[in-house]
Amino acid sequence: MKDGIHFTQRWLKGLAIALLLGAPLASADLITFDDLDPSEGSVSEQSYAGFNWDSRWGLGDSGMSGFGDAAHSGSQFLFNQGFESNLEITRDNPFDFMGAYFASTSNYNNMSFWITLVAYDGQGNKVGELVDAQINPDFENQPLWIAADFTNVSRLVVDAAGGIFAMDSLQFQDTAVSVNEAGGFVLLLIGLGGLWAARRRVH
């Protein structure tokens, strides 16, 4: 009986260490849009890169008028077709949004100069906001990195103060499980194991 209890205790300790060491470490991913095939539908229809994309996002390329320098990597990017605003990017699993490259069209009458980014968690709480980040200083129309550093995001809203903009090289990572959360689960398992061992001793 004692050997069985000792084995259970050793097993639970081993499980605790494995869970704590196995808590995922976040690693950044990059979305470049260059492997999107327009013949297979829009970015929203393809659920590209595991995200849900607002149907108002358009897939652009550097051959389009006014977008010759808009792409940061490769030649493809997303843009707010039809001057659309408050375009959304969502995902079922929470993610951390580090930022993306933004550029304005070079067509003077359609230029965009500022971007606003707002992030929400799965419960609809605002978890990050960047208001009127300048994307077109000195009318250069070159991709400009806009850092955000939003964590635990389920919905990201991208808005421009008028004009047409391009977005490329979006950087994100899966939201990591904190050691405290993993540790709490481990303590629960150890507690249940202790109760089980105590019942074994009684019987």
Does 164 lie in the same domain as 181? no
Same domain, 108 and 161: yes
170: nearest Cα among 66, 57, 81, 45:
57
Amino acid 105 reads T
pLDDT exceeds 50 at position 186: no
**Percentage of the chain exceeding pLDDT 70:** 74
Enter the tokens of residue 47.
């659920």
β 76-80/165-174 pair status: antiparallel
Note if the pTM is more than 0.85: no
Q: Are residues 79 and 147 in the same domain?
A: yes
pLDDT at 24: 46
Number of domains into which the chain is organized: 2
11 in the same domain as 104 = no
Question: The domain that contains 121 carries what CATH number?
Answer: 2.60.120.260
Q: Which of 74, 54, 82 lies closest to 143 in space, CA to CA?
A: 74
pLDDT in tens, 28-48: 899 999 999 999 989 999 999
Q: 């990597």: which residue's tokens? A: 73
pLDDT of res. 79: 97
Reported confidence tier of residue 96, pLDDT bands at 50, 70, 90: very high
Residues 135 and 190 in one domain: no
- Judged by DSSP in three states, 64 sits in coil
pLDDT of residue 193 exceeding 60, the answer is no
Buried b (16+ CB within 10 A) or exposed e, 35-73: ebeeeeebbbeeebbebebbebbbbbbeeeebbeebbbe
Quote the domain boundaries for residue 166: 26-176
Per the prediction, the chain carries an average pLDDT of: 84
Stronger pLDDT, 72 or 193, i.e. the higher one: 72
Per-residue pLDDT of 54-71, as tens digits, reads: 999 999 999 999 999 999
Residue 137 confidence (pLDDT): 86
CA nearest neighbour of 114 among 163, 155, 54: 163
Q: What is the mean pLDDT of residues 126-150?
A: 94
